Structure 1
Amino acid sequence: MIEITDLHKSYQMGSNSLHVLKGINFKVSQGELVSIMGSSGSGKSTFLNILGMLDEADQGSYTLDGVQIKNLNEKIAARYRNKFLGFIFQSFNLITYKNAIDNVGLPLYYQGLKRKERNERAMHYLEKVGLADWATHLPNELSGGQKQRVAIARALASDPKVLLADEPTGALDTKTSYEVMELIQGINDEGKTILIVTHEPDIAQMTKRIVNLKDGLIIDDRRVEQVRAKSYV
């Protein structure tokens, strides 16, 4: 599903060049649930941005579902993101003046679906995350956990190949974090490929594979015995 070979990324900092990614090799198969860990400055945010087509590598190759991701202008990158990827953010990134069903339907608006079909599909995914009764509520009427469930429904709405989750539990208390991870595990059980960036070891243990970055390199990549979130909820 994802294949990355010898990936390098540098940024110009005044007269100096900062070499952030120093030759990443990484593969993810269909249906995996992978956590990416690393301290601040390890390169994990840059790596996630490249995976999400929000930035481009200087060197190396990135293939997503058989498509080579390179030399994309913003229009094509946006189309590929909408087709291939669903995003879940720590800060939810919901539009404050739109209700839950409209937030979930937003990716479908950009795909050109008519409002009736958008609402039907959005409602389906709100039901999936247990929020059908909250469809007409604005984000400020929802708890943190409910906001993240809306964000997950939005990420799923366009039926992406891969979900990219950036610290999806970072703004939540422990109990709500485990409820969100139970939902993510259930989505993965249905076959969705999911990558989670996290700094929380207990959250990483709820995935099936942990990848550790340090100083722009993968220093450890191992499969783990998955802890089911349900045992904590």
Structure 2
Amino acid sequence: MIEIKDLHKSYHMGSNSLHVLKGINFSVSEGEMVSIMGSSGSGKSTLLNILGMLDEADEGSYNLDGKTIKNLNEKVAAKYRNQFLGFIFQSFNLINYKTAVDNVAMPLYYQGVKRNIRMEKAMHYLEKVGLAEWAEHHPNELSGGQKQRVAIARALASDPKVLLADEPTGALDTKTSYEVMELIQGINDEGKTILVVTHEDDIAHMTKRIVNLKDGLIIDDSVVSQVRAKEAKERQEQAKRANHV
């Protein structure tokens, strides 16, 4: 599904050059759920930008679902992003003046899908994330967890090959984070390939494989025993109840 070989990326600032990615080799098979971890400056955001076709490597190769991603003009890059990728952001990135259902339908609008069909699909995905009754509400009428659910529905609307989640729980409390991860795990259980960038160890262990970056290199890539978010949430609630006794 994703194949990256010997990826290098530098940024030039005046006469200085910052070598951010220093030869990344990385592959993800269809249906995997992988987390990418690393401290600030490790290169994880740069790697995510390249995977999301928002930036391009200086050297190396990137293949996505059999297509070589290189030297794309913005029009083709936008087409491929819409075709292959769904994005989930820490800050939700919802359009405030549009309702939940209109936000979910946005990727389909850019694909040229007719309004009645895209609204039908948008409602289907809102239902899937448990927010059908909030369809006509605007983002400022939703909680943080509800906003992230709308964002997940939007990411799924165009049926992408890969979901890229950039700190999807970073703006949420622990209980809501686990609820969002429970939803993301369910989507992965259905066969969707998912990459999660996170700095939270408990969230990383809710994926099936953890890739650690440091100074632009992968220092560890391990399959882990996946923690189910539903069970983690139940343990947290039990601990809270015990503390109140």
TM-score range, shorter chain: over 0.9
Q: Deviations over 1:38-70 (max 9, x none)?
A: 000000000000000000000000000000000
Displacement of 1:13 in angstroms is 1.3
Question: Match of 1:42?
Answer: 42
Q: Deviations over 1:132-170 (max 9, x none)?
A: 000000000000000000000000000000000000000
SS of 1:232 mapped into structure 2: helix
SS of 1:105 mapped into structure 2: helix
Question: Match of 1:154?
Answer: 154
Q: Which runs of 5 or more structure 1 residues have no equivalent in the other structure?
A: none
* 4+ residue segments displaced more than 2 Å: none
Letter in structure 2 aligned against 1:129: V
2:210 is the alignment partner of 1:206: no
Question: Match of 1:113?
Answer: 113
SS of 2:178 mapped into structure 1: helix
SS of 1:113 mapped into structure 2: coil
2:171 is the alignment partner of 1:171: yes
Once the two structures are superposed, the pairs formed by residues 7-26 of structure 1 within 5 Å of their partners are 7-26=7-26
Question: Match of 1:138?
Answer: 138
CA–CA separation in structure 2 for the residues paired with 1:20 and 1:101: 39
2:196 is the alignment partner of 1:185: no
Question: Match of 1:31?
Answer: 31
Q: Deviations over 1:158-203 (max 9, x none)?
A: 0000000000000000000000000000000000000000000000
* Structure with bigger gyration radius: 2
Letter in structure 2 aligned against 1:222: S
CA–CA separation in structure 2 for the residues paired with 1:14 and 1:43: 20
SS of 1:133 mapped into structure 2: helix
Question: Match of 1:129?
Answer: 129
Displacement of 1:14 in angstroms is 1.2
Question: Match of 2:52?
Answer: 52
SS of 1:30 mapped into structure 2: coil
Q: Which runs of 5 or more structure 2 residues have no equivalent in the other structure?
A: 234-245
CA–CA separation in structure 2 for the residues paired with 1:195 and 1:153: 16
Q: TM-score, normalised to structure 1's length?
A: 1.00
Letter in structure 2 aligned against 1:94: L
SS of 1:63 mapped into structure 2: strand
RMSD of the TM alignment (CA)?
Answer: 0.4
CA–CA separation in structure 1 for the residues paired with 2:179 and 2:138: 21
Identical amino acids, percent of aligned pairs:
85
CA–CA separation in structure 1 for the residues paired with 2:155 and 2:92: 11
Question: Match of 2:222?
Answer: 222
Displacement of 1:7 in angstroms is 0.2
Q: TM-score, normalised to structure 2's length?
A: 0.95
Displacement of 1:232 in angstroms is 2.2
Letter in structure 2 aligned against 1:6: D
CA–CA separation in structure 2 for the residues paired with 1:203 and 1:151: 18
Displacement of 1:219 in angstroms is 0.3
CA–CA separation in structure 2 for the residues paired with 1:118 and 1:130: 18
Q: Deviations over 1:178-233 (max 9, x none)?
A: 00000000000000000000000000000000000000000000000000000022
Letter in structure 1 aligned against 2:87: F
